[in-house]
Structure 1
Amino acid sequence: MLEPWNDASILPPPIHTSKCNSDVDVRQLSHTCKNIIKVLSKQSPLHREAAICSRFLYKFDKKFRNDIGYRNFKKVNTALRKYLGLNILKDIESFHSVLPTDDDQYLPTRQMLEYVLVRLLSFSKIMERICVCSKVAAVFYLDRVKRGESHWMSLMPFALLSRVWSMSTVLLQHSCNWYTNLQSFLDKLKLKGLNFLPADYMLPNNIEEWLDMKNLDNVGRFQWSQKKDIEIDQSLVEDEEGDTFDNILDFVNQINENILEEEEPMTISVPDKTKDAKTLQVTNTAVDFGEKISRDIFKNFFKPIEEKIIHTAERVTNKDSLNKFMLKEEKFRNENSNQSLTKHLSFMQWQALRSSLLALQESLSNNRKIEKRFKKIWQEKCLDYK
């Protein structure tokens, strides 16, 4: 059996009034209803964002259908459609129209207020769903923006989700306040007719605990499987003047001083022919940290020694020598070798030179013409760029 707040087919109770003998602050009850009507009647920005969300999903469904952030984006759209189909504004207006305007005490029945509270529970659950799903989807899109992956296609949904999250969070806070204010009048109204709620169902007394609002901010964050606790020295904490850099240098100097103080002189015993033990005192007071080198120089230590191959453009005289020359040059360029004759050319310049040489290789010219045309192309598209 579905709970009343989760049942979309629930019907409102009949409109009845009953004379209430207890003191009921009708003005406060009417003020709360007017506040709800005022806020809910000005949600055209949220409706506009819901329309943009629906159009975005329709346009990019095939392109991003397997993306995790896109799937949470679809959940936001589903929750927004549920909100648009709830029509809680009409229920509040119907309840407010029954409230007395003069001094008579004919108030709505308790069943009518219970129906309004149930609809507020549904409204708050939908807003919570929108908050959670929009935050989870925004985290993935923000990660894409930081990595530069399809940043243009990620900025628009990230901005849209941020606006939806901010508006839904405000409405969620409003719904908690509305529920608390209206629930205080529940015991003061009388029952008339059949019970609206099931006999074993109780409305929550504290809606914030029912929604777990304390942990709402933690939902949507990454839960790492491996966590490592790092102890931070208090001297590294930034002070009011922002001297974090000086604190780090002082901290490093202090560690070096402690290391030097803890080091003790090393003693080495050297046996003598006369069997007299002599002690050689060796004190290690200086530490050789080496010399800083770049990463490229460090990688050169592990590169194999290249065999010097005679590679020159002057040996190109026919198609066979041209083919061998191009194979060697392309190999040297891929290996970033110093023997490459076109290492000063950019990628596009090399492609232009390569296409011209391939066209020359496929031509039907004789060897003499190939040699002359090769020297001309080599001069124009390689040597002239130096």
Structure 2
Amino acid sequence: MPLPWNSATVLPPPVTMFLCVTKFDLPALKQITNNIIKVLSKQSPLHKESAICSRFLYKYDKKFRNDIGYRNLRKVNTALRKYLALNLLKEIENFSSALPTAGDDDDLYLPSRQMLQYVLLRIMAFAKIMVRISTCSKQAAVFYLDRIKRAESHWMSLLPYALLSRLWSMSMVLLQHSTVWYSNLYPYLNKLQMKGLDFLPNNYELPEDLDQWLDLKHIDEFGKFDWAQKKDINIDNTLNDDDNDLLDNILDYVNQNDDNEIESQHEEEIKPISVKTEEAPIAVPNITEIDHGVALSRESFKLLLNTSKNGKQDQVPPPKKERQHSYKTVTNSTSLKKFIEVEENFRNESDSKSLTSHLSLMQWHALKNTLLKLCDTPTNRKIDKKFHKIWKQKCLDYM
């Protein structure tokens, strides 16, 4: 069973009044309700942003339906729909209309405690929706900002990124307002009387502090991602953050490291070096194993000598000089195709010789397709000039 603040089946209590005998600060309560009505009645910018959000989702549903940022943006739109369905302004106006006006009558009739409890429940739901909007908008903005930095569909990512930024700022402002409203209305619970049946479940109590219930101290941590490549950094605790002792701590830290290095070097100098020496047996040549050769006749010796003079020994060819990979070597379509093939191999191997390593994958494909079209042209006149012009526009200008 959902909690009362999150349940859509909880009906508002009937309008019941009671006679207040004790002293009651009615103008202060009316001022609080009037301030709430004043703020909620001026939320037309948020309604316009929610309309833009729904239209963007409808237009780009097929293109970005598998994108993570787009899915988080749909969560923002769902939260905005719940905000519009909540209609907190109507509940506050109903409660404010039940408050009596200042008159000459001595009898003061006030609304029951159940009516104020219902208003506080709606404020809690309103604050939770604002937290949901701010969290999901922050998560979605991370992915759209990454697209903008990588120049991947940046013209289609600027609109949702700006939209999410505006929604985040509005939701944070309304969240702060809701906590102030709750803290101002909660003290009046004990001053109002119960009339009729209690619509809240048994043993359910409203929180006294809405900031603590929402955990707003850690609101900046909501929506952050724990990236897999994040590494823990060990920070030396000898360096403190005090401004007065910062310079002294740094100098002490450096001096301590220098002393440790000097001591380690001194220990290495004093420590004797022990080398194990083993006497290797010296091989004594055996006289009986000496090779005296084979006797040759004069005819065979002359034949061997002539063949050694006339014969050509196999010479090892000198190593070919590696041709430098440069765009200046492109002069015709053949060299251009060779250049594209070599450049693509370097990119696939993440080699430092690649000339287009600063380009993204989409930018490289655009440049490659343009150069391949240049190779397929029937006339190869001035292909080097055309190549240098394209290379400057789509490669060098992106540096």
Structure 2 length as normaliser, TM-score? Answer: 0.65
**Whole-angstrom CA distance in 2 between matches of 1:335 and 1:5:** 65
Instruction: State the match for 1:188 in structure 2.
Output: 191
Q: Is the 8 A contact 1:114 1:196 kept in 2?
A: no
1:229 is aligned to 2:236: no
Instruction: State the match for 1:38 in structure 2.
Output: 38
Amino acid in the other structure paired with 1:15: V
Instruction: State the match for 1:112 in structure 2.
Output: 115
1:160 is aligned to 2:167: no
Return closer, same or farther for 1:335/1:91 CA change in 2, 3 Å cut-off.
closer
- Structure 2 segments unaligned to the other structure (5+ residues): 245-250, 278-318, 324-331, 344-366, 389-399
SS at match of 1:106: strand
**Whole-angstrom CA distance in 2 between matches of 1:384 and 1:133:** 48
1:124 is aligned to 2:127: yes
Where in structure 2 are the equivalents of 1:14-33 lying within 5 Å?
Answer: 14-33=14-33
Amino acid in the other structure paired with 1:230: N
Q: Is the 8 A contact 2:337 2:372 kept in 1?
A: no
Instruction: State the match for 1:74 in structure 2.
Output: 74
**Whole-angstrom CA distance in 1 between matches of 2:374 and 2:125:** 69
Q: Is the 8 A contact 2:15 2:115 kept in 1?
A: yes
180-189 or 102-111: bigger deviation: 102-111
Instruction: State the match for 1:2 in structure 2.
Output: 2
Instruction: State the match for 2:376 in structure 1.
Output: 355
Superposed displacement of residue 65, structure 1: 0.7
**Whole-angstrom CA distance in 1 between matches of 2:31 and 2:44:** 22
SS at match of 1:223: coil
Q: Is the 8 A contact 1:18 1:107 kept in 2?
A: yes
Where in structure 2 are the equivalents of 1:1-386 lying within 5 Å?
Answer: 1-102=1-102, 104-225=107-228, 227-231=231-235, 264=269, 306=320, 330-331=337-338, 334-335=341-342, 351=372, 354-356=375-377, 359=378, 381=383
Instruction: State the match for 1:289 in structure 2.
Output: none
**Whole-angstrom CA distance in 1 between matches of 2:222 and 2:19:** 46
Superposed displacement of residue 351, structure 1: 4.9
SS at match of 1:144: helix
**Whole-angstrom CA distance in 1 between matches of 2:94 and 2:74:** 33
Amino acid in the other structure paired with 1:101: T
Return closer, same or farther for 1:352/1:263 CA change in 2, 3 Å cut-off.
same
137-146 or 56-65: bigger deviation: 137-146
1:133-165 CA deviation, whole Å, 9 max, x = no partner?
A: 111111222222233322222221111111101
1:67-120 CA deviation, whole Å, 9 max, x = no partner?
A: 111111001000001101111101101111111222642111111111111111
Superposed displacement of residue 12, structure 1: 1.4
1:221-245 CA deviation, whole Å, 9 max, x = no partner?
A: 122455322336989x9x99xxxxx
147-156 or 36-45: bigger deviation: 147-156
**Whole-angstrom CA distance in 1 between matches of 2:197 and 2:224:** 46
Amino acid in the other structure paired with 1:17: M
**Whole-angstrom CA distance in 2 between matches of 1:70 and 1:264:** 65
Return closer, same or farther for 1:328/1:55 CA change in 2, 3 Å cut-off.
closer
Superposed displacement of residue 381, structure 1: 4.3
Return closer, same or farther for 1:155/1:99 CA change in 2, 3 Å cut-off.
same
Q: Is the 8 A contact 1:349 1:381 kept in 2?
A: no
Return closer, same or farther for 1:260/1:143 CA change in 2, 3 Å cut-off.
farther
**Whole-angstrom CA distance in 2 between matches of 1:347 and 1:195:** 73
Instruction: State the match for 1:295 in structure 2.
Output: none
Q: Is the 8 A contact 1:91 1:116 kept in 2?
A: yes
Amino acid in the other structure paired with 1:355: D
Return closer, same or farther for 1:104/1:147 CA change in 2, 3 Å cut-off.
farther
Amino acid in the other structure paired with 2:170: M
Return closer, same or farther for 1:200/1:329 CA change in 2, 3 Å cut-off.
closer
CA RMSD of the aligned region, Å?
A: 4.0
**Whole-angstrom CA distance in 1 between matches of 2:369 and 2:202:** 79
**Whole-angstrom CA distance in 1 between matches of 2:22 and 2:211:** 28
Amino acid in the other structure paired with 1:68: I
**Whole-angstrom CA distance in 2 between matches of 1:384 and 1:26:** 83
Structure whose alpha-carbon radius of gyration is higher: 2
Return closer, same or farther for 1:254/1:156 CA change in 2, 3 Å cut-off.
farther
257-266 or 96-105: bigger deviation: 257-266
Q: Is the 8 A contact 2:145 2:157 kept in 1?
A: yes
Q: Is the 8 A contact 2:33 2:92 kept in 1?
A: yes
Superposed displacement of residue 199, structure 1: 2.4
SS at match of 1:330: helix
**Whole-angstrom CA distance in 1 between matches of 2:76 and 2:39:** 21
Q: Is the 8 A contact 2:69 2:144 kept in 1?
A: yes
Superposed displacement of residue 128, structure 1: 1.2
